[in-house]
Amino acid sequence: MKYFLFSALCFLAGCASYYKGLTSEALISCADEIKPANLNTAWYTASIDVIGKHLSGLLVVKKMPDASYRLVFTNEAGATFFDFKFQPDGSFQVVSVITQLDKKPVIETLRKDFELMLGLPFGQPLRSWQHNSLKYAGIERDGEKIYFIVNPDCTSHGNLEIGSNRKRKVSVSLSGKEPTQPDSILITHYTFDMTIRLTKFDKDADE
């Protein structure tokens, strides 16, 4: 009886592994060709929902001449929530951030989310895994795997994900015809309640 109760509680608490059966395999032949491309400069309407709190405004993704990125999130009045800089070598700088977001776990979460969105981790040598019928390619870093899902035709990729050996932590879905400038982006967290929604718009057309 005690074992049954423990098993039931374990199931409800998510003890079962999302990645059960994940196995390493030889690098998928198309992985380097179809890996997520670095985004071009674009403006997005942005909505961030985290543990019952809501922020909305505009996010500019700006690709700099030195291949670094600046991500600046402002409200409709132009006040800056955060200004982040991502270097091609993997270094990261907080240019500015409001007090409410200036907490190490928050900054680290946003850094990893946007690195994944920009496809920056996939500049390193890739590995491959298989999970059920899906094939994954990506890297392993700091005890986490950072993947993109290889579609069966081996000509395109699906969602981008961060996971541990057991849990799926984050997924990024990019929608649109142009991979370097998606029309919409959805970032979903699975270990706590956080969602980021981005919808591209033509800033010049609105001026």
* pLDDT tens, position by position, 156-204: 898 999 998 889 999 999 998 887 889 999 999 999 999 999 999 886 6
What pLDDT does residue 19 have?
A: 81
Listed by start position, the domains of the chain span 18-56+106-206
Q: CA-to-CA distance for 122 and 119, rounded, in angstroms?
A: 6
pTM value is 0.86
Torsion of the alpha carbons at 184, 189, 190 and 193, rounded to the nearest 10: -110
**Among residues of the chain, what percentage have pLDDT more than 70?**
90
Alpha-carbon distances of 90 from 59, 86, 118, 124, rounded to whole Å: 21, 7, 12, 10
Taking 90 as the threshold, does the pLDDT of residue 69 lie above it?
yes
Mean pLDDT of 70-74: 97
What pLDDT does residue 113 have?
A: 96
Q: Average pLDDT, whole number, for the chain? A: 87
What pLDDT does residue 70 have?
A: 97
Q: CA-to-CA distance for 139 and 32, rounded, in angstroms?
A: 12
Residue 41, SS3 per DSSP: coil
If one compares 11 and 97, the residue with the highest pLDDT of the two is: 97
Burial (0-12, 13-18, 19+ Cβ within 10 Å), 65: exposed
Residues 6 or more apart whose Cβ sits within 8 Å of residue 49? 193, 194, 195
